[in-house]
Structure 1
Amino acid sequence: MDDVSDVDIDVGRFKYVLIAVTDPKTRVTKHIVRGYIRCHFHGDIVDEVEPQLNRLKLTYDCVGGGRIVHNVEEKTILIFGYSQGFGKADHSIASKILKEHYKDYESITWSDEGY
Protein backbone atom coordinates (compact mmCIF):
# COMPACT_ATOMS: atom_id res chain seq x y z
CA MET A 1 0.00 0.00 0.00
CA ASP A 2 2.94 2.34 0.60
CA ASP A 3 3.62 2.23 -3.15
CA VAL A 4 0.31 4.00 -3.82
CA SER A 5 0.35 7.73 -3.14
CA ASP A 6 -2.68 9.10 -1.32
CA VAL A 7 -2.89 12.05 -3.72
CA ASP A 8 -2.12 12.61 -7.39
CA ILE A 9 -3.87 15.70 -8.76
CA ASP A 10 -3.18 18.42 -11.29
CA VAL A 11 -3.34 22.18 -10.94
CA GLY A 12 -6.37 24.06 -12.30
CA ARG A 13 -9.97 22.91 -12.65
CA PHE A 14 -10.59 19.23 -13.36
CA LYS A 15 -12.62 16.13 -12.53
CA TYR A 16 -11.51 13.89 -9.69
CA VAL A 17 -12.33 10.46 -8.28
CA LEU A 18 -12.13 8.97 -4.81
CA ILE A 19 -10.97 5.36 -4.92
CA ALA A 20 -10.98 2.79 -2.11
CA VAL A 21 -7.89 0.62 -2.54
CA THR A 22 -7.56 -2.70 -0.69
CA ASP A 23 -4.64 -5.05 -0.20
CA PRO A 24 -6.27 -8.51 -0.42
CA LYS A 25 -3.48 -10.09 1.67
CA THR A 26 -3.79 -7.77 4.68
CA ARG A 27 -7.36 -6.59 4.03
CA VAL A 28 -6.19 -3.04 4.72
CA THR A 29 -8.12 -0.38 2.78
CA LYS A 30 -7.29 3.24 2.16
CA HIS A 31 -8.81 5.99 0.04
CA ILE A 32 -6.85 7.79 -2.66
CA VAL A 33 -7.65 10.97 -4.60
CA ARG A 34 -6.88 11.23 -8.30
CA GLY A 35 -7.65 14.05 -10.74
CA TYR A 36 -6.20 15.08 -14.09
CA ILE A 37 -7.03 17.91 -16.49
CA ARG A 38 -6.36 15.62 -19.45
CA CYS A 39 -9.22 13.29 -18.44
CA HIS A 40 -12.57 14.39 -19.83
CA PHE A 41 -14.55 11.73 -17.96
CA HIS A 42 -14.27 10.33 -14.44
CA GLY A 43 -13.88 6.86 -15.95
CA ASP A 44 -10.78 8.06 -17.82
CA ILE A 45 -9.11 8.79 -14.48
CA VAL A 46 -9.90 5.29 -13.20
CA ASP A 47 -8.53 3.86 -16.46
CA GLU A 48 -5.21 5.66 -15.81
CA VAL A 49 -4.93 4.44 -12.21
CA GLU A 50 -5.99 0.84 -12.89
CA PRO A 51 -2.69 -0.47 -14.39
CA GLN A 52 -0.66 0.55 -11.32
CA LEU A 53 -3.17 -1.00 -8.91
CA ASN A 54 -3.34 -4.20 -10.96
CA ARG A 55 0.45 -4.39 -11.14
CA LEU A 56 0.59 -4.14 -7.32
CA LYS A 57 -2.17 -6.79 -7.05
CA LEU A 58 -4.47 -4.41 -5.18
CA THR A 59 -8.23 -4.35 -5.56
CA TYR A 60 -10.12 -1.09 -5.88
CA ASP A 61 -13.53 0.49 -6.04
CA CYS A 62 -14.23 3.97 -7.35
CA VAL A 63 -16.58 5.29 -4.66
CA GLY A 64 -17.49 8.52 -6.44
CA GLY A 65 -16.22 11.64 -8.06
CA GLY A 66 -16.59 15.35 -8.44
CA ARG A 67 -14.52 18.33 -9.43
CA ILE A 68 -11.55 20.16 -7.95
CA VAL A 69 -10.26 23.69 -8.41
CA HIS A 70 -6.61 23.65 -7.34
CA ASN A 71 -4.80 27.00 -7.12
CA VAL A 72 -1.13 26.60 -6.23
CA GLU A 73 -0.37 30.34 -6.06
CA GLU A 74 -3.14 30.98 -3.51
CA LYS A 75 -2.64 27.56 -1.89
CA THR A 76 -6.33 26.74 -2.09
CA ILE A 77 -8.38 23.73 -3.15
CA LEU A 78 -12.15 23.62 -3.65
CA ILE A 79 -13.90 20.25 -3.97
CA PHE A 80 -17.48 20.01 -5.28
CA GLY A 81 -19.89 18.34 -7.68
CA TYR A 82 -20.40 14.73 -8.62
CA SER A 83 -19.72 12.08 -11.24
CA GLN A 84 -22.58 11.01 -13.49
CA GLY A 85 -21.06 7.54 -13.77
CA PHE A 86 -19.80 6.91 -10.22
CA GLY A 87 -22.00 9.22 -8.16
CA LYS A 88 -20.90 11.87 -5.70
CA ALA A 89 -17.76 11.16 -3.74
CA ASP A 90 -17.74 11.83 -0.02
CA HIS A 91 -15.97 15.18 -0.35
CA SER A 92 -15.26 15.24 3.39
CA ILE A 93 -13.01 12.18 2.95
CA ALA A 94 -11.29 13.70 -0.09
CA SER A 95 -10.83 16.97 1.82
CA LYS A 96 -9.23 15.17 4.77
CA ILE A 97 -6.79 13.35 2.49
CA LEU A 98 -5.88 16.57 0.66
CA LYS A 99 -5.38 18.44 3.95
CA GLU A 100 -2.91 15.75 5.07
CA HIS A 101 -1.04 16.00 1.77
CA TYR A 102 -1.07 19.81 1.40
CA LYS A 103 -0.36 20.78 5.02
CA ASP A 104 0.84 24.29 4.15
CA TYR A 105 -2.29 25.28 2.17
CA GLU A 106 -4.39 28.24 3.27
CA SER A 107 -7.76 26.67 2.45
CA ILE A 108 -9.06 23.26 1.43
CA THR A 109 -12.86 23.32 1.35
CA TRP A 110 -15.70 21.27 -0.09
CA SER A 111 -19.32 21.75 -1.03
CA ASP A 112 -22.14 19.51 -2.17
CA GLU A 113 -23.31 22.27 -4.51
CA GLY A 114 -22.52 22.59 -8.21
CA TYR A 115 -21.46 20.31 -10.99
Structure 2
Amino acid sequence: WKSMSAPTVSIGDPDSFVDQSKITYLSAEEFKKLLAQNTLALFILDVQAEDNFKKRHLVGSANIPLDQLEKRIGEVPAGRHIVVYGENDLASFQGGVRLSDLGIYSARTLTGGKYLSPLSGLPLEP
Protein backbone atom coordinates (compact mmCIF):
# COMPACT_ATOMS: atom_id res chain seq x y z
CA TRP A 1 0.00 0.00 0.00
CA LYS A 2 2.93 2.36 0.59
CA SER A 3 3.88 2.19 -3.09
CA MET A 4 0.46 3.61 -3.96
CA SER A 5 0.68 6.66 -1.69
CA ALA A 6 2.99 9.48 -0.71
CA PRO A 7 5.88 8.90 1.71
CA THR A 8 4.76 8.43 5.29
CA VAL A 9 7.62 10.57 6.60
CA SER A 10 8.19 13.89 4.83
CA ILE A 11 11.65 15.34 4.24
CA GLY A 12 10.28 18.66 5.52
CA ASP A 13 9.65 21.32 2.88
CA PRO A 14 9.50 24.83 4.40
CA ASP A 15 7.44 26.02 1.41
CA SER A 16 4.77 23.40 2.10
CA PHE A 17 1.74 24.60 4.03
CA VAL A 18 1.16 21.01 5.17
CA ASP A 19 4.68 20.72 6.60
CA GLN A 20 4.49 24.20 8.17
CA SER A 21 1.29 23.16 9.96
CA LYS A 22 3.19 20.34 11.69
CA ILE A 23 5.59 22.71 13.47
CA THR A 24 5.36 24.70 16.68
CA TYR A 25 8.23 27.18 16.77
CA LEU A 26 10.18 28.15 19.88
CA SER A 27 12.48 31.18 20.02
CA ALA A 28 15.78 31.17 21.89
CA GLU A 29 14.25 33.51 24.49
CA GLU A 30 11.29 31.18 25.05
CA PHE A 31 13.71 28.27 25.29
CA LYS A 32 15.74 30.07 27.97
CA LYS A 33 12.55 30.45 30.02
CA LEU A 34 11.82 26.72 29.69
CA LEU A 35 15.36 25.91 30.83
CA ALA A 36 14.92 28.14 33.88
CA GLN A 37 11.66 26.41 34.85
CA ASN A 38 12.55 22.71 34.83
CA THR A 39 15.25 21.06 32.77
CA LEU A 40 14.23 17.59 33.97
CA ALA A 41 10.94 17.85 32.07
CA LEU A 42 12.77 18.72 28.83
CA PHE A 43 14.21 16.40 26.20
CA ILE A 44 16.48 18.43 23.94
CA LEU A 45 16.96 16.67 20.62
CA ASP A 46 19.89 17.67 18.42
CA VAL A 47 19.52 16.40 14.84
CA GLN A 48 22.98 17.50 13.66
CA ALA A 49 25.41 15.03 12.12
CA GLU A 50 27.44 13.36 14.86
CA ASP A 51 30.67 15.20 13.90
CA ASN A 52 28.95 18.59 14.20
CA PHE A 53 27.35 17.56 17.49
CA LYS A 54 30.80 16.78 18.91
CA LYS A 55 32.03 20.26 17.95
CA ARG A 56 29.19 22.19 19.59
CA HIS A 57 25.74 21.48 20.97
CA LEU A 58 23.32 22.68 23.62
CA VAL A 59 24.09 21.40 27.10
CA GLY A 60 22.03 18.33 27.96
CA SER A 61 20.96 17.57 24.41
CA ALA A 62 20.74 14.07 22.93
CA ASN A 63 22.04 13.53 19.41
CA ILE A 64 20.02 11.60 16.86
CA PRO A 65 21.16 12.72 13.39
CA LEU A 66 18.33 13.71 11.06
CA ASP A 67 19.02 10.81 8.69
CA GLN A 68 18.69 8.33 11.59
CA LEU A 69 15.63 9.81 13.27
CA GLU A 70 13.08 7.46 11.74
CA LYS A 71 14.88 4.27 12.80
CA ARG A 72 15.84 5.64 16.25
CA ILE A 73 12.49 7.23 17.12
CA GLY A 74 12.15 4.87 20.10
CA GLU A 75 14.90 6.85 21.85
CA VAL A 76 12.70 9.97 21.97
CA PRO A 77 10.63 9.97 25.17
CA ALA A 78 7.09 10.89 24.17
CA GLY A 79 6.11 11.87 27.74
CA ARG A 80 8.49 14.83 28.04
CA HIS A 81 8.58 18.33 26.58
CA ILE A 82 10.65 17.91 23.42
CA VAL A 83 12.67 20.70 21.82
CA VAL A 84 14.35 19.87 18.51
CA TYR A 85 17.14 21.78 16.77
CA GLY A 86 19.78 21.27 14.09
CA GLU A 87 22.76 23.15 12.73
CA ASN A 88 20.44 25.68 11.06
CA ASP A 89 16.75 26.57 10.82
CA LEU A 90 16.14 24.23 7.86
CA ALA A 91 17.55 21.21 9.71
CA SER A 92 15.55 22.17 12.81
CA PHE A 93 12.39 22.46 10.70
CA GLN A 94 13.02 19.10 9.05
CA GLY A 95 13.55 17.47 12.45
CA GLY A 96 10.26 18.89 13.71
CA VAL A 97 8.37 17.70 10.62
CA ARG A 98 9.81 14.20 10.92
CA LEU A 99 8.88 14.00 14.60
CA SER A 100 5.32 14.99 13.72
CA ASP A 101 5.17 12.44 10.91
CA LEU A 102 6.41 9.80 13.36
CA GLY A 103 3.61 10.57 15.81
CA ILE A 104 5.30 13.01 18.20
CA TYR A 105 3.06 16.05 17.86
CA SER A 106 4.06 18.04 20.94
CA ALA A 107 7.67 18.73 19.93
CA ARG A 108 8.71 22.35 19.53
CA THR A 109 11.24 23.47 16.96
CA LEU A 110 13.93 25.94 17.98
CA THR A 111 14.13 28.82 15.53
CA GLY A 112 16.31 31.85 15.05
CA GLY A 113 19.37 30.16 13.58
CA LYS A 114 21.91 31.56 16.06
CA TYR A 115 21.30 29.15 18.95
CA LEU A 116 24.68 27.42 18.48
CA SER A 117 26.55 30.72 18.64
CA PRO A 118 28.19 31.77 21.91
CA LEU A 119 26.35 35.07 21.43
CA SER A 120 22.97 33.32 21.81
CA GLY A 121 23.30 33.17 25.58
CA LEU A 122 22.24 29.51 25.51
CA PRO A 123 24.37 26.96 27.40
CA LEU A 124 26.75 25.26 24.94
CA GLU A 125 29.33 22.53 25.14
CA PRO A 126 32.10 21.61 24.62
TM-score by length of 2: 0.30
Structure number, greater radius of gyration: 2
Higher normalized contact order (CA 8 Å, seq sep 6+, divided by chain length): 2
TM-score by length of 1: 0.32
Larger relative helix fraction:
2
Larger relative strand fraction:
1
